[in-house]
Every structure is written in C-alpha cells, then in structure tokens.
Amino acid sequence: MLCRQKGGAEVGPNPTDRGKPGTKRHLVTDARGTPLGLTLSGANRHDSRMLAPTLDAVPPIRTGHPGRPRRRPGKLHADKAYDHRRCRQECRTRGIVSRIARRGVERSTHLGRHRWVVERTFAWLSRYRRLTIRYERRSDIHLALTTLAFALVCLGQIRRFC
C-alpha cells in the first residue's frame, strides 16, 4: 500500500514557519471585499505562479445586461509579488487592466489603498477557527470548508448592503 503525502499537492513547507507544512489561499475580491475566486496552493509556491488559476476560478457573473455573463474583473490591483512580465501578460490576454506595484520603483504605501480590501477579507476568513489552523489532511475537504466560509462572508455582505 502506498502512503500519500498529508494534504496532497496543496501543502508545502512554509518558508516563514520553520518548514512546517502549510497552505496558501489565493483570492480575487471585488472593490467591497466580496470574494469572487479562490485557489489553494502549497506554502512554498510563489504567489505569481497562481495568478492564472486564481483568475480562472472566478465564476460567470450576471450583470443584468443582455449578452454573455461577465467572466473576469475589469481591473486587477496586486502587490509586488506579482511584478513579473508573465503576470502582466496573463492579465492582458484575459482583457484585464493590471495595476501591479513594481519592485524597486514604487513604495508599498500607495498600494495600501486597494490592498486592505483583500486583507480585510482574509481577516473575515480567520473568524472561522477551523480554517485558521488546517486540521484536514485532504485538500478537497479544506477547499470545501474554505468555500463555505467565503459563502458565509458573501451572505454577510448581502445582509449588510440590502
């Protein structure tokens, strides 16, 4: 019998926490912080490698206008981890205007006006204790629980603005 790695492909040694196995959550939100797309990866994967799968995770959105449902956001704000030619090209091929901070040129404080929205959404996620520490060995269960938590965050957004 073959033994599988605990957590599957979405677990990797965390470079900031003494090599403990960990998972990263990659998230696309709208301007209010409502989660639109989510992917999981190992903690040792670079953020820029997960940009395309995260953008592809956004489901179609009905806008109320005739025609095909909108699939992707119109503009993307990202931090310096995504400052690669590959990331800008992936946004361009999807028809997304990219606002990515440049390493060594721009200060991080300018991006803070837009970045805090995503950080706040991650803080909303940390309210669910089951997700702050990953107890599940199977990545599909962890993804399902994370998706459920984001559905509850969306429900809270709907209640707040209606």
Let me know if residue 150 belongs to a domain: yes
Would you state the pLDDT for residue 3?
45
Let me know if residue 119 belongs to a domain: yes
Would you state the pLDDT for residue 100?
83
- Print the domain residue range for 39: 8-61+70-161
- List the structure tokens of 44: 């040792």
Query: pLDDT by residue (tens digit) across 113-151?
Result: 777 888 888 899 888 888 887 778 888 888 899 999 999
Sheet holding 12-13, edge to edge: 12-13, 21-29, 35-42
Verdict on whether the full-model pTM lies above 0.85 = no
- List the structure tokens of 83: 């400052």
Reported confidence tier of residue 2, pLDDT bands at 50, 70, 90: very low
Query: pLDDT by residue (tens digit) across 61-111?
Result: 776 778 777 767 788 888 888 888 999 999 999 888 888 888 877 666 666
Top pLDDT among 51 and 18 is at 51
What whole-number distance in Å separates Cα of residue 137 and Cα of residue 144? 13
Reported confidence tier of residue 13, pLDDT bands at 50, 70, 90: confident
Average pLDDT over residues 23-32: 87
Checking if the pLDDT of 1 tops 50, the result is: no
Alpha helices in 84-135 (DSSP H): 85-93, 108-125, 129-132
Domains of the chain: total: 1
CATH code of the domain covering residue 56: 3.30.420
Let me know if residue 1 belongs to a domain: no
Let me know if residue 147 belongs to a domain: yes
Checking if the pLDDT of 35 tops 50, the result is: yes
Let me know if residue 110 belongs to a domain: yes
Let me know if residue 3 belongs to a domain: no
